[in-house]
Amino acid sequence: MSGLNMMSNVVLATDEETYSRIFGLDAQLLVDAAIVALSVFVLFLFLSKLLFNPVRELLEKRQEKINEDLKQAEQAKEESNRIKEEYEAKLRDVNKEAEGILSDTRKKALLQEKEIVDEAKEEAHRIRVRADKDIELEKNKVKDDVKQEMIAIASAMAGKIVQTSISSEQQNSLIEETLKEMGDSTWQS
């Protein structure tokens, strides 16, 4: 049993040393902590050079691309606004031009209407003048016809008076008879 006893003493002694070392600050613990801190710092520097810098560069490139995309989007927006303003200006110009064309067309139509009306008035005047001339000619013709008829009547009456010497009563009745004959046939046509 003495061997077993010794073994348990060693285990207990080891256990006691472990317990005292975990809770106690000794030089070995401080050296281990400094080595771990230095290892973490060196590992941080190494990883910083190896991983963080490429990631940082990647993020910077991505930020630059985003900024460039934002600038392009802003430029595209400005360009679209400029094009929109040009389009609206052209649209206003087209509307003004269309109004001008319509106004010119209306003016031309009014002028053409006035010309047509003036031509119609002139034609009506010419027709009226021609009709007046025709009426005047017809009046003159009728007057000439009436004069010829009167001359024929007067000649017929004179011939009858000369053929017979008659009294004034007979003469009056002869004139009336001749006028009746002339009146019925001449004035009806």
Instruction: Report the alpha-carbon distance of residue 38 to residue 25 in Å, rounded.
Output: 19
Q: Write the burial class of residue 171 (CB in 10 Å: 0-12 exposed, 13-18 middle, 19+ buried).
A: middle
Closest-CA residue to 175 (of 162, 161, 189): 161
Q: Write the burial class of residue 169 (CB in 10 Å: 0-12 exposed, 13-18 middle, 19+ buried).
A: exposed
Point out the residues of the chain with pLDDT beneath 50. 6-14, 21, 187
Instruction: Report the alpha-carbon distance of residue 8 to residue 73 in Å, rounded.
Output: 80
Q: Write the burial class of residue 125 (CB in 10 Å: 0-12 exposed, 13-18 middle, 19+ buried).
A: exposed
CA distances from 188 to 180, 181, 182, 185 (A): 12, 11, 9, 6
Residue 170 domain boundaries: 2-186
Number of compact structural domains in the chain: 1
Position 12 scores a pLDDT of 45
Position 180 scores a pLDDT of 79
Max Cα-Cα span within the chain: 219
Tell me the residue type at 172.
Answer: N
